Chains A and B, each alone.
Chain A
Amino acid sequence: MSLCKKKRQDDFQKVKLKVGKTKPKADNATNINFRTKGINLTEQLKKDANAPTTHRKLNIKDLLSQLHHYSGTVKQGALVGLRELLTLHPSELDQHLSSLLSEAAAVFTDKDPNVRMSATRLLRFIAQSVPAERTSPFFPLLSAHLSCAMTHIETGIQEDALKVLDVLLDHYPALLAARPALLLNNFLELISHRSTGGGARKGQEGKGRSWALSVNPNRNVTGQQWRLTVLLRLGRFLQAVVEERRAEEGVACVSGDMFSVLNGQGGANAPLELNWEELTYRKGGFQVFEHSGAMPTPHSTFKLRPETEPGAGVSEGLGTGEAVRGFASTLVPLLLDVWVEASASDRSKTDSAHLLTPDAMSLMYQVLSILQLLRKLAPQREYQDTLDVWFRSEYLGDFKQHFMKNFPYGNLDTPKQRRKTDPKRSKQSTTIPGQTVEPLALNVLLCQVMVSMVTLSQREGQAQEPDAEWLMPLRGFVQETLSSGAKLSQRHLHTLLETVWRMVITQRSRAVTEDLLQAVYVQYQQMNLNLQTRTLLLSFYSRLYLQEHNHTHIARSRVLSRWLAALPLQLSQLGHRNPALSDRLLLSIQAAASRGNKALLNSLHTHACRLYDPQEGSVVLLPAESQQRLVQLLYFLPVMSQGLLANLSRCCTAGRVSAGLAASLIRIIHLRSSLSGWSVGSQDMTLRDVDYISFLFSTLTGFSSDELATLQEAGDESVLPPSPLSPLSLYPTPLEQFTHHWDVVEEVCHCLETLGSRSQCFDVLQNGICKNLTGLAVVPDSMAAGLLRAVARLLDLSFLPSEPLLRFLSRCCLSLLSLLLTLQQDTAVWGACVAVLSSIPRLLRLVLQSLRVKDLCEEELPQLAQILSLLLQHTALRNHMLANATLLQHIIQDLTRYCRGESKEQWMTDLLYCYSVTMATHRGNLGLRDIY
């Protein structure tokens, strides 16, 4: 007990604390001499073998779950990690697209700006690698989050929402434009607020002024800049909507593309283009009538009722004209207010009103381009016109007051330039890209917007008077810009041309049209334009020309006819340098020619010989499609001169146009002649029959007289020498040329056959051959074969061919036969020989008579025997051979005599066999005839 007591006292010993001494440490005091460091487990230790991971060894599920973390940094890290994961393993994207998009979209409205930025980046990355059709199922969710962010109460989130919108506009414009209604309201909310009371400035229709511009002082940018950014997005969005609609309706309906499609026919369902030859050898059939033809295609102009239900109102979107008008009636006053405020603040900085700061200028540019887009939003062409009328009635006064008063605008930076019509200088002034807008672009756009206000409705003279006052400066500007001779960029030119187009169509005054077209012509005449610009100008004129039928002031325009008349010359000068441009030119020429335009046809006539020159004319230099157009143009030529026909004949035979095209050329000329039975109409008798027949004849021979003359003197290198078996020396043409010529000959024969009286036709042919060809010693083999073919096809049985012709033909025939023996091919030529021999018995006799065995040398005997046995074998010739039996017998006797006892040779036995068979059947036939 005492011990215990003692111990207890030890335990509770009093510690005396004294002033000035350090306090002794308590026994249980913690030593705090260590330092701590946090360990962040940003990556997992164990590697997940199943799923791919980031370098932090987090798989996609971890990262997605981290997005729900309360901490901003974790969320941002997860977003960065996701991006890394997806770059390394793109396959993950396909599997988890739905959860990825929904989670990423959920953080659009995050409070932390860094998270939002990362989310935008992630979205951009996903958008780059996923096509639109695969995003489309998730798009409602995305757009819901987007509009949530756009209408968020925090200005930062609103601003970042625009960046998200940028991404979507870049990659999925069509999806975004598919349901425009909600987003449009969001845009309005961004720059304005709906006023509750009817405190309107003017009592326009009640709801017209229910929106008013709003200013939020909390933003870190000025109100004007904010509006500019919003308007920029709105402009891009509307552009997307317009393009979407264009894709739906086909290009033709939308005036934006007015010059790019010349024929104005670009339906959505492409027509089937078939070729007869393909069709014949094709295995599967094709289907023209879908759903058995009972339903019209969506492009039908017959409509029982509008497809969208009326009464759904503005919220339905921009599908109907009324909806567009409703939206416009809200937006346009806001736009005007925006501009009025901006110009007022701008006015304070400068004294002259037509000079603008770059900011104000780009703001105005945006305002105008949105106005322009609003016009294009109208779903159909007729709505567009009513919309224009409506715009005019509502806002013309405002526009005139706010926009036109100080037109044209200039840049404040270089105040000495009053008018920025010189694009070189204005280009220098554009230092900051993107945000700044050239004054030229602004002025041009303003022209376009204002000109669209001029409606077609007022055709009477007095109604134009009020317009003239504000149209005057516009027209002056356009004319000056175009005719200044400076080069304009593609886009500006396009806009200017549209403006000119509109003015020309609406103004209906000849003087104005002439001035404007002259200005455009100055542009057209510039050297060194690039292809696109040239094409643009070309299609402007050609479209204008196609419009002439209901605008007499266009039809009578002298500039237009001068342009047309210059086209053939341009085409011939262009040669083969630019086939695309030539094709455009040809299209215009063809259109004008088919309309029988006098100026063009005369010019075409003067330049025809150059165009159809067989050496360097366009018809041989251009690609096949243009060649075809040129050939078709022949139909419309007013007069076919001899020189032109000579050129054309050379074109056909020279082989630089395909055989098919040559055939269609011959056919078109055939149609032009009065002998064909097809009346060309007013231009009858412009192709004389003499010229036509000589064209056919020279095409038939295939070689010009000069070429034949040089062949006669060519010497022995190129031609086969004459021999007793081939009395003419043949010039072997290349196989390609031979087949080409053969095809042409077939076509010529067909034309000659249909000319009318056969015997007269043959008489003409015979005269031609006798006069021009019988004297030749060297004959091209293609020509010889062609002549034989033509004679065989054209010969009338009642007609007796003349002796010189037959002698010439027999020489041709024999030469060809012996040539065929050496070649061992070409059944067509063999067929032609047989046909001509069987149709003219006299010819066969001549051939046989010319076979003089005693003149032949040893090597030629087998050839002769082969020819004879071939002729004997042919059934069509058998009877004619029998008619010449005595002659044949002589030849064979001679042969056996001359071959000096070597009668056991194969060719001799073959011949004798054939001969005996032929004779035997003949006797058999005779015998049979005797019996009956």
Chain B
Amino acid sequence: MSAPMEIVLSADSAGQLWNCAVLELHSGTNLLAYRGGNTSSRSLTVLNGEYILGAQLGKNFINVWEIQRKDQLQQKIVCPGIVTCLTASPNGLYLVAGIADAIYLWEVSSGNLLAILSRHYQDLTCLRFSDDSSHFISGGKDNLALVWSLASVVQLDPSHTPEPRHVLSRHSLPITDIHCGLMGPQARVATASLDQTVKLWELSSGEMLLSVLFDVGIMSVTLDPCEYYLFCGGSDGGIFQVSLCSQSLSRDKTFQSDNEGNQVFKGHRNLVTCLSVSMDGTLLLSGSHDETIRLWDIQSKQSVRSINHKGPVTNALIIPAPANMFLPDSRPGIPLPRFSRHLNPSEQGEGVETGGVCLRLAPHTQSVFGDGENTKVRVSELEEEVRTLKKVNKDLYDFSTQLLTKPS
């Protein structure tokens, strides 16, 4: 059997047999199981394809496994409080955790705690990165979702407290889940809340695009990769599918009675806590408090497979299979350092390094998408700018050489 492309990573709160299991997406066979403890909800994450991190339920530490060593913890990151949510940036450089009402941001390469952001008023429920790691979104029980720009958060200026780029404050009950779409800073963000609504926002402007009111509180939300559909997991066990694009109804759709694309996946009997869509947009994974995870075929809205767990499911996600996962002899590319618990390690008197320059690289890559004509225009504009810059540079060079080589 060749190595699977996509895998399902799931964890439940009982953790009797294992902490988190790895399943093959299409066959549902159990591939691996990582042991030790159990994981709290929305806190299982894969770092850089080399480590799996999961916050221990009700305790103040994070379990870390090397992805090829399922039986042994690599380390436990001890935190100042109970970790309620955790995520790693997709580029593997940063780790963000929600501890009580504060957000802790670590740099993975050094293990330094870069920032503690306490703008939420109550406990955090969810943290999500945008796919280019330039922004992250935090949702809390104070009804707020905050959009943070990573570059502004990690800056060194100690006097300047970082402010969120946008405050999304239109929910009236706690946020339960957040999904951030693709396309970096131009992504759409979906937030689910107990106030029975799911709202779709624009990341770049912080404006609300859409709000859908349901009959039940919504516990989880996700978008398919094309962002054609919005999937919302209800507190009564239904999964609601909202079609985000109008389809032309005239063509080849005459014989179906309810073909609007707004339909319900029925099968779970309790809160649907996690949702995830496969890369090709055909399979939907859902985890529920009724102690099962289910795989659904999106096109026909049928439950393809149901896998029982021993406790309420806390995490279930579909991820592309990391390369190292099935190679027991592999080693992670970079060793994980000790993560520090305090903001300034030098003040603690441990590992004092003086005279060193602390350099923080902010991944500030803004992808500029455009449609047809505009792209060309913009590309030519940028080329023009590069040319002028080169010319300025050359002038500067000429001037300085002239000045330096002057005979006097």
Among candidates A280, A295, A301, A590, residue contacting B165 with C-beta atoms closer than 8 Å: A301
Interface size on A, residues (CB 8 A): 56
Among candidates A275, A288, A550, A668, residue contacting B213 with C-beta atoms closer than 8 Å: A275
The answer to the question of B195 belonging to the interface, with a C-beta cut-off of 8 Å to chain A, is: yes
Residues of B within 8 A of A263 (CB): 169-170
CA distance A279 to B211 in the complex (A): 12
The answer to the question of A282 belonging to the interface, with a C-beta cut-off of 8 Å to chain B, is: yes
Residues of A within 8 A of B366 (CB): 302
Would B269 and A289 count as touching, CB distance under 8 A?
Answer: no
Cβ distance A308 to chain B, nearest Cβ, rounded Å: 15
Cβ distance B262 to chain A, nearest Cβ, rounded Å: 5
The answer to the question of A416 belonging to the interface, with a C-beta cut-off of 8 Å to chain B, is: no
Would B236 and A750 count as touching, CB distance under 8 A?
Answer: yes
CA distance A635 to B200 in the complex (A): 24
Would B210 and A276 count as touching, CB distance under 8 A?
Answer: no
Would B371 and A294 count as touching, CB distance under 8 A?
Answer: yes
Residues of A within 8 A of B207 (CB): 265, 267, 269, 271, 297, 299
Residues of A within 8 A of B121 (CB): 594-596
Residues of B within 8 A of A272 (CB): 209-211
- What is the count of residue pairs linking A and B with beta-carbon distances less than 8 angstroms? 158
The answer to the question of B214 belonging to the interface, with a C-beta cut-off of 8 Å to chain A, is: yes
Would B247 and A285 count as touching, CB distance under 8 A?
Answer: yes
Task: Say whether, besides A296-B186, A635-B174, A287 and B213 are in contact (CB < 8 Å).
Answer: no
The answer to the question of A845 belonging to the interface, with a C-beta cut-off of 8 Å to chain B, is: no
CA distance A667 to B214 in the complex (A): 13
Would B217 and A289 count as touching, CB distance under 8 A?
Answer: no
Would B214 and A276 count as touching, CB distance under 8 A?
Answer: yes
CA distance A304 to B194 in the complex (A): 38
B-contacting residues, A714-773, CB 8 Å: 750, 753-754
A-contacting residues, B231-264, CB 8 Å: 235-236, 240, 242-247, 249, 258, 260-263
Cβ distance B402 to chain A, nearest Cβ, rounded Å: 28
Residues of A within 8 A of B245 (CB): 285, 287-289
Cβ distance B200 to chain A, nearest Cβ, rounded Å: 7
Residues of A within 8 A of B247 (CB): 285
Among candidates B236, B260, B368, residue contacting A285 with C-beta atoms closer than 8 Å: B260
Residues of B within 8 A of A285 (CB): 243, 245-247, 249, 260-261
A-contacting residues, B302-353, CB 8 Å: 312
Q: CB-CB contacts of A192-229 with B at 8 A, as 1s and 0s?
A: 00000000000000000000000000000000000000
Q: CB-CB contacts of A648-660 with B at 8 A, as 1s and 0s?
A: 0000000000001
Would B246 and A594 count as touching, CB distance under 8 A?
Answer: no
CA distance A340 to B258 in the complex (A): 77
Residues of B within 8 A of A295 (CB): 369-371, 374
B-contacting residues, A179-194, CB 8 Å: none
Chain B residue with minimal CB distance to A302? B204
The answer to the question of A16 belonging to the interface, with a C-beta cut-off of 8 Å to chain B, is: no
The answer to the question of A310 belonging to the interface, with a C-beta cut-off of 8 Å to chain B, is: no
Residues of A within 8 A of B262 (CB): 276, 279-280, 282
Would A671 and B217 count as touching, CB distance under 8 A?
Answer: yes
Residues of B within 8 A of A287 (CB): 245-246
The answer to the question of A34 belonging to the interface, with a C-beta cut-off of 8 Å to chain B, is: no
Among candidates B122, B196, B210, B269, residue contacting A594 with C-beta atoms closer than 8 Å: B122
Task: Say whether, besides A285-B260, A682-B123, A296 and B213 are in contact (CB < 8 Å).
Answer: no
CA distance A280 to B199 in the complex (A): 17
Chain A residue with minimal CB distance to B185? A302
Would B213 and A681 count as touching, CB distance under 8 A?
Answer: no
Would A293 and B271 count as touching, CB distance under 8 A?
Answer: no
The answer to the question of B270 belonging to the interface, with a C-beta cut-off of 8 Å to chain A, is: yes
The answer to the question of B215 belonging to the interface, with a C-beta cut-off of 8 Å to chain A, is: yes
Among candidates A271, A294, A301, A632, residue contacting B370 with C-beta atoms closer than 8 Å: A294
The answer to the question of B161 belonging to the interface, with a C-beta cut-off of 8 Å to chain A, is: yes
Would A276 and B215 count as touching, CB distance under 8 A?
Answer: yes
The answer to the question of B383 belonging to the interface, with a C-beta cut-off of 8 Å to chain A, is: no
CA distance A590 to B121 in the complex (A): 13
CA distance A272 to B230 in the complex (A): 14
Chain B residue with minimal CB distance to A595? B121
Would B216 and A550 count as touching, CB distance under 8 A?
Answer: no
The answer to the question of B141 belonging to the interface, with a C-beta cut-off of 8 Å to chain A, is: yes
Among candidates A283, A291, A681, residue contacting B122 with C-beta atoms closer than 8 Å: A681
Chain B residue with minimal CB distance to A634? B173
B-contacting residues, A753-809, CB 8 Å: 753-754
Residues of B within 8 A of A302 (CB): 185-186, 204, 366
Cβ distance A636 to chain B, nearest Cβ, rounded Å: 9
Would A754 and B183 count as touching, CB distance under 8 A?
Answer: no
Would B312 and A677 count as touching, CB distance under 8 A?
Answer: yes
Residues of A within 8 A of B243 (CB): 285
Would A274 and B173 count as touching, CB distance under 8 A?
Answer: no
Would B141 and A274 count as touching, CB distance under 8 A?
Answer: no
Residues of B within 8 A of A590 (CB): 172
Residues of A within 8 A of B236 (CB): 750
A-contacting residues, B373-406, CB 8 Å: 374, 378
B-contacting residues, A399-420, CB 8 Å: none
Would A297 and B240 count as touching, CB distance under 8 A?
Answer: no
Residues of A within 8 A of B408 (CB): none
Would B227 and A289 count as touching, CB distance under 8 A?
Answer: yes
Chain B residue with minimal CB distance to A286? B246
Among candidates B188, B211, B213, B371, residue contacting A271 with C-beta atoms closer than 8 Å: B211
The answer to the question of B142 belonging to the interface, with a C-beta cut-off of 8 Å to chain A, is: yes
Cβ distance B353 to chain A, nearest Cβ, rounded Å: 32
The answer to the question of A906 belonging to the interface, with a C-beta cut-off of 8 Å to chain B, is: no
Would B210 and A274 count as touching, CB distance under 8 A?
Answer: yes
CA distance A678 to B141 in the complex (A): 11
Would A681 and B123 count as touching, CB distance under 8 A?
Answer: yes
Would B119 and A549 count as touching, CB distance under 8 A?
Answer: yes
**18 chain-A/chain-B pairs, Cβ below 8 angstroms:** A265-B208, A271-B199, A271-B208, A272-B210, A273-B211, A275-B212, A279-B212, A279-B242, A291-B371, A292-B371, A295-B374, A302-B185, A595-B142, A632-B172, A660-B215, A667-B216, A677-B270, A754-B270
- Other A-B pairs, 5, CB within 8 Å; known A273-B213, A635-B173, A677-B312: A265-B208, A295-B371, A301-B206, A594-B143, A663-B215
- Smallest CB-CB A-B distances: 9 pairs: A285-B246, A595-B121, A300-B204, A299-B205, A271-B208, A681-B123, A594-B143, A276-B214, A294-B371
- Interface residues of chain A, those whose CB is within 8 Å of chain B, are 263, 265, 267, 269, 271-277, 279-280, 282-289, 291-297, 299-302, 304, 549-550, 590, 594-596, 629, 632, 635, 660, 663-664, 667-668, 671, 677-678, 680-682, 750, 753-754
